[in-house]
Amino acid sequence: MKKNNQALRLLSVCRVSSREQSEGYSLEAQDQANREWAERKGHEIAETIQYVETASKQKERQRFREIINRICSDPAISGVVFHKVERACRNLTDLAMLLGWR
């Protein structure tokens, strides 16, 4: 996952779907796992984005759409890291948006 043998600058994106969940599998634990993965791979976490938002209703996913717009428009960001795929998306439409961002 390196471009021309260079470390990538990544966004660490951490999401929970409810306040109750944020107290269980925390945003901080997700970010720590993302950072550990990036370090093992030789990449840099440029920024962490943490938020609470449901993935079940597309019209309610404003923060997700903002993140997609950010990674599409910011040339300094090489990629995005989610701890688990279900933290990123719950449907094929969202997955296609993520996979097609560059």
What does the pLDDT look like over 46-91, one tens digit per residue? 999 998 877 666 566 778 788 888 888 899 998 888 887 666 666 6
| Full-model pTM | 0.75
Contact 85, 56 (CB under 8 A): no
Separation CA 51–CA 93 (nearest Å): 20
Name, in order, each residue with C-beta under 8 angstroms of 60's C-beta and a sequence gap of 6 or more.
Answer: 53, 54
Indicate the domain borders of the chain.
9-99
User: What does the angle CA 26 – CA 27 – CA 30 come to, to the nearest 5 degrees?
Assistant: 90
Class of domain 9-99: alpha beta
